[in-house]
Every structure is written in C-alpha cells, then in structure tokens.
Chain A
Amino acid sequence: MIAIIDYGLGNLGSIQNMIKKIGENSKIITHPEELSEAKKIILSGVGSFDTGMNNLIKRGWIEVLNKLVLNDSIPILGICLGMQLMTQSSEEGFQNGLGWISANTEKFNFDTNIYKIPHMGWNDVMFDKDSKLFNSQDFNQKFYFVHSYYIKKIDNCDVTFKTVYGEEFVSGFEYKNIAGVQFHPEKSHKYGMKLLENFINNF
C-alpha cells in the first residue's frame, strides 16, 4: 500500500487520483499508527513551512516518520513543501525541518519584475545521469511548479535534478530511500505520471 500522509496541508485528492490512474492502490493516512503497513510513503503539501512542521509535530508524525524512513528504509517521496520539510530549515519559518538531507530552503529573491514570485507554471527538469525517478529516454519532459521558496544546493545526494528560474536551483533529489521533487507530478500529465510510476516501481 502506498501511504499518502494527511497532516492537514495540501491537495491529496489529486495524488490519489493519479495513482489510481496508474493502477496502484493508495490510502490517505490521517493517524501515524496506520502508517506501519506502508510500503511507500508520499509526503506532499502546500502551505507554509512552520505550519507544516507544527502539524507534523502536533499530530505525532515525527517519531514514526524518522523510524520508518531512517531505520526501516521505507521509500518516501516528498512533493513541493513535502520536499522542503526534509531539509534542515527554511527562510519561511523558525522551525527546524526533518533534517534528512543536508540542505536549507531559501526564498526566491529577484531584483526585477520579470521573474514573478511564485515561480508558477511549466518548466524543464535537467538531470546528469539516469536515476530511479528519471530516465533519459523520457525526453521533452516538463513539469508544473508552484513555489516561492526553493533549495539552492544540496550536499551528499545520489542524484540532483536542476531547473532554471532566474538562477539554477534543485528541483529534485534522490538520496538512499529518500526522494524529493519541488514540482507537482500529480499535475504534470503523463510526465508526472511516469515519475510517480518510477517511484512506485523502482524505489
């Protein structure tokens, strides 16, 4: 079973819709204790960093997630805020992040009106080598982004994906059993569907 964590933030229905289209079963999980049966975990979310962390703390997710992800190596995919929560901290708030990857979340800051904030729309994702999520055969891919905060650089990852908006930033990563994407695969047509399928089958 693929567990989609409901911690009170974000549009989980659309992730479930797409996984259903792929032909897999998923379940939206509201209580941490139900997570033990999960073979794969998706941590999505739209909202602010502190609200996200506070909800995870308040609802008792932190301990369970740390155990499953760090000790039991259950694959997890962070989407949008879900990926940012995996970093150490964010300029958006004061809370510490989950701290699973050595990166921080920063705010987009441009001197010109050309680059609107949020970075919203379809953009390219570049990768240096084939990985579990991306395959060079899937060319001409594009993905839907909506975000005002971003990860500038990331240390010690197996693979990082890059996107350019004003400057190059990290639009995704893979590190052991942990993966994150800044864009929304659940809203990125067949390209996103392929990525979710790759997460389900290859991770």
Chain B
Amino acid sequence: MLRPRIIPCLLINNCDLVNTKKFYFDKYIGDPINTLRIFNDKEVDEIIFLDINATKSKIGPNYDLLKDIASECFMPVTYGGGITTLNQIEKVLKLGFEKISINGRTNKNISFLYEAVKEFGSSTIIASINIKTHNRSYKVYDYINNRLLDDDMFVFLNLIENTGIGEIFVTDVDREGTLMGYNFDLINKLNNKFKIPIIFNGGANSYIDLKDAIKNDISAVSASSLFVYYGRLNAVLISYPSPIEQNVILNERNKL
C-alpha cells in the first residue's frame, strides 16, 4: 500500500528555525539541525525546508546550512527559497536534497518551472502555490509583492501542472500557522482535479485533521505549527505521529 505522506514543513529565517502565522513572523523555534535530528528519530516520511527570507532579501540559498541539513536527512527532503537559476538548483541537489520547491506566483515563474523540469526531471521539481480567500473565491497569492493574481485559481494551477512538475505544494495562507484546522472547502475543491500529487499545507490543528484530509485524494498533508507547538500556550515541542497513530491516520486510505 502506498502511504499518503505526512510532512513537517520547517521554516528557516537566516540560520534559525522559526514559525509564522499567515506568513508573518510568529516565534523562534530553535536550531534547524537539532530539530531535524528529532524528526529523524521519529522517522518522518519527508521534510520540507523553506527559507522564508531567501527570496525577499535576494540572497538566495544558504548552502552552508543546507549542507549540514542534507547530511542529517535520511528521508526525502525538499528545499525552497530564493531559487532563481538552474545553477542554484544543481548546487542544492548535489548537497543531497531530492526536490526543489519553486514558488509559482507569476507567469515569469511558469517559464522557469518549464526550464527546471526539462533540466532536472518532473519528480525533482515542486511548485509551491499560496492561496488566499478573496470575495468568497480562492486566489493565488504573490507573497513577494503582496498581491493576488487576477487569474482563477484553477486556470493558474492547470498552467502550473502543465509545466510537467512532479507535485504541487498548496499553502492556505489564511490559516497558515493559526492551528485553526484545515480548510476542507478548499481541500474538497482541489480533490480529484489533478493527475499529480497535491501536498496540502496550512492550518492543521490535530491528527484528526490530517486523517480527514487524507480521506480525500490529497497525496500528502503538511503542517508546521502542529509538529512544533504543544499545548494551549504553544510551547515549543517537536512531535510527529507514532507508527500506531500513523496507521490510524492512514486507515481511510487502505484502498490503494
């Protein structure tokens, strides 16, 4: 049976691990390498590292940090943040990362996605798409310029899928970091629309949330706060479903 993946999404700011709420800085979490070692012990399915500052500041990937991260990762690992050239992708892959996430937010990004897929293959390139609710509809959000795309979400997502990328990492910006629970209206709209895997991220507040999302056609669920916060006061504590909890979460999908 292919198991839907449960993926911690970890955010890097300079060399720190941080958490954000609706894309605004919320809290310092700790050292990325120490945190990664804990996730390693918990045998996580996969990890996504996003450098939230690398694009905005135009400094690009922090190769020294990424090298340390890769040497501790005995699971698939994705990097995203500040990637604008094929040369950067090659360098990050050489360090030991499997996949590169590229934010899809303008038409210019789309042509870069094509180039990246052509050079490195489908399964290496993930398109990361940020979605915001606007007038009861869903719009693609360009976080760099803080604006919404005019295009319909599905028109844009189909353009993205047609670039040949291997997966789409969808983040619900309105719920990101809020622990409000996944937006199941959005999940239902994305359900069964794509031939490639969808990783859904933003707002998960419990393992039940993960289980309910996986009941759909969603190939992977992702969360940050759920795996780094604990309790009413959001104390920092790294957690991840145990093998038994994973079996419960994945139970609904045994049909595959």
Contact = CB atoms under 8 A, between A and B. Distances in A.
B2 interface: yes
Q: Interface residue tally of chain B, by bracket?
A: 35 or more
B236 interface: no
Interface of A: 11, 13-14, 17-18, 21, 46-48, 113-124, 140, 142, 144-148, 164-165, 184, 186-190, 192-193
User: What's the dominant secondary structure at chain A's contact region?
Assistant: mixed
Interface of B: 1-5, 40, 43, 45-46, 70-71, 73-76, 93-98, 121-124, 166-167, 192, 194-197, 217, 219-220, 243, 256
A11 B97 contact: yes
Given A13-B70, A146-B98, A192-B74, A120 B166 contact: yes
Instruction: Enumerate the 6 nearest inter-chain pairs by beta-carbon distance, A residue then B residue, closest first.
Output: A13-B96, A14-B96, A146-B123, A122-B3, A189-B43, A123-B2
Contacts of B166: 118, 120, 146
A11 B74 contact: no
A189 B219 contact: no
B7 to A, nearest CB: 10
A180 to B, nearest CB: 18
User: What's the dominant secondary structure at chain B's contact region?
Assistant: loop
Contact of B217 (A21, A113, A148, A188): A113
A21 B71 CA distance: 9
A144 B4 contact: no
B167 A120 contact: yes
A22 B87 CA distance: 31
Of B166, B192, B243, which is in contact with the most chain A CB atoms at under 10 Å from its CB? B166
A123 B70 CA distance: 23
A123 B45 CA distance: 11
B45 A122 contact: yes
Given A11-B98, A121-B219, A144 B76 contact: yes
Nearest to A14: B96
25 contacts: A11-B97, A14-B96, A17-B70, A17-B96, A46-B123, A113-B194, A116-B196, A117-B195, A118-B122, A121-B2, A121-B3, A121-B4, A122-B2, A122-B3, A124-B1, A145-B2, A146-B98, A148-B122, A148-B123, A165-B2, A165-B256, A184-B76, A187-B75, A189-B75, A192-B74
